Amino acid sequence: MRVLILGGGGREHALARGIAASSRVDRVICAPGNAGTASLGDNVSVDLSDNDAVVALARDRCVDLTIVGPEDPLCNGIVDRFLAEGLRIFGPTAAAARIEGDKSYAKNLMKNAGIPTAKGRSFDHYNEARDYIASRESGVVVKASGLAAGKGVFVCEEPSDALIALEQIMLDKAFGDAGLSVVVEELLKGEELSVFALVDGRTIYVLDTAGDHKRLGDGDAGPNTGGMGAYSPSPFGTSELLAKVESEVLVPVVDAMRRDGAPYRGVLYVGLMITPGGPKVLEFNCRFGDPETQPLLMRLESDLVDVLEAVVDGRLDQIEIRWNPKPAVCVVMASAGYPGSYEKGKTIEGLDSAGAMDDVFVYHAGTTLLEKEPVSNGGRVLGVTALGANMTDARDRAYEATSKIGFEGAFRRSDIAARVIHAETS
């Protein structure tokens, strides 16, 4: 069979690697892909915002199954269009993807469904949001309601910082139309956890857990990013907690969306804060996380195509997913200036040396080929991922691999998975 993967980041490289490993797959096509996916199949340039062009690509290449990586095409209705054309595709419809694409909608959905989450309010007008923040006596989180590539969330310890963030979002329009409305909510404290569940419209299958590091610098300093590293599994995701998340979060939200006329089919990402009062939802995403997908799929032993097709065909209750018990850690290597402006076209060296290490794989994210050589082409350039006998071993191997790789301006956090290791050993 032929499989088309939409997107060009580290998540898509991880999906492409898993799909290419299936004995059922003859050809992998990535649109647009990156320098890493080019070694697994065909990279094709296409405008992912043009649904007609994407449908034409799937027909021209006789694609049997399409996998949507990023959120923008999902919110833009690519799944609806494919279904109308009778084409098989993995991902939620535009109505269901609103759970990520519209944070105000998601907040109201959680409130109406009784899902535990931070107390908060939505605002369409700057003055009302400003007055509300000014009345707070402690820190808050300010979120652009629309899609902002993971950068539209500001965690503010002081209300004065939140007012600055609000100006950036609503007055300076740092995220364009994504900031036409905002969500302001209480600042929760605890341990973060990423839970992924497959949903086929009626059955929910909770996958192994992961955790990520959103902030730019060590010790969670600096601005939010798309993610500077990740690990799987998370020691905070106990079986008891996951059962609680399934019953108090996943079942209610899937039922609520079905009642809203937006039945969910695809992967549902739940970003949680484990507070003293129990798990509370920070956000929902309508796709696999990036970079959490890299260590998560590094541990997958089942055929990825079988898993994804079970969702598409509505037979998720008929499969059993197997995982490698070894933990995995992913360290992101980024371009100088990220998450702000950065230069592209920097030659990347040492990829072969790092990739030759046992149980190490270098996932490409912001890369492209220039005269057949990989160069940087984005803010997050690589996701260096390693399996280990334990989390410390996986982390050490990932960092050893990053030390073999270089490009001008490259930087990384030095504390990926450190808090997990501390929790395991304390």
Domain extent listing, the chain: 2-97, 119-186, 191-318, 328-425
Asked whether 78 and 255 are in contact (CB, 8 A), the reply is no
CB 7 within 8 A of CB 68: yes
CATH no. of 119-186: 3.30.1490.20
Question: What number does CATH give the domain 2-97?
Answer: 3.40.50.20
Segment 45-69 mean pLDDT: 98
Considering the chain, what is the average pLDDT of its residues?
A: 95
Residue 224 near residue 282 (C-beta atoms within 8 A): no
Beta bridge partners of 181: none
pLDDT greater than 80 at residue 64: yes
**What average pLDDT does range 19-40 have in this prediction?**
98
Residue 419 has a pLDDT of 87
Residue 324: the pLDDT is 97
Helix and strand element counts for the chain (H, E): 15, 22
**DSSP SS3 for 45:** coil
**Which pLDDT does position 384 carry in this prediction?**
98
The answer to whether the CB of 157 falls within 8 A of the CB of 189 is no
The 3-state DSSP class for residue 104 equals helix
Distance (Å, whole) CA 140 – CA 215: 16
**Tally of CB atoms within 10 A around 26:** 11
Cis before 92 (ω within 30):
no
What is the H or E stretch that residue 113 is in? helix 103-113
So what's the pLDDT on residue 149? 78
Residue 140's nearest CA partner among 179, 189, 212, 67 is 189
pLDDT in tens, 271-329: 999 999 899 999 999 999 999 999 999 999 999 999 999 999 999 999 999 999 999 99
Predicted local confidence at residue 151, as pLDDT: 81
User: What's residue 420's pLDDT?
Assistant: 87
Helix (H) or strand (E) holding 51: helix 51-60
Mean pLDDT, residues 230-258 taken together: 95
99-137 residue pLDDT tens = 999 999 999 999 999 999 999 999 999 999 999 999 998
Class of domain 191-318: alpha beta
From start to end of 48-189, where are the E strands? Answer: 65-68, 89-90, 120-123, 140-144, 153-156, 182-186
pLDDT at 265: 98
- Kindly tell me the burial class for residue 154, based on how many C-beta atoms sit within 10 Å of its own C-beta (0-12, 13-18, 19 or more): buried
Mean predicted confidence (pLDDT) in 266-274: 95
H or E stretch at 363:
strand 360-364
As given in the structure block, the two tokens for residue 225 are 């990013």
Q: How confident is the model at residue 426 (pLDDT cuts 50, 70, 90)?
A: low
CATH topology classification for 328-425: Glycinamide Ribonucleotide Synthetase; Chain A, domain 4 (3.90.600)
Q: CA 196 → CA 49, 193, 248, 272, distances in Å?
A: 26, 10, 15, 11
- What does 19-34 look like in DSSP terms, one character per residue? HHT-TT-SEEEEEE--
pTM of the entire predicted model: 0.93
Q: Is the pLDDT of residue 156 over 80?
A: yes
pLDDT (tens digit per residue) in 366-384: 999 999 999 999 999 999 9
| Residue 360: pLDDT over 70 | yes
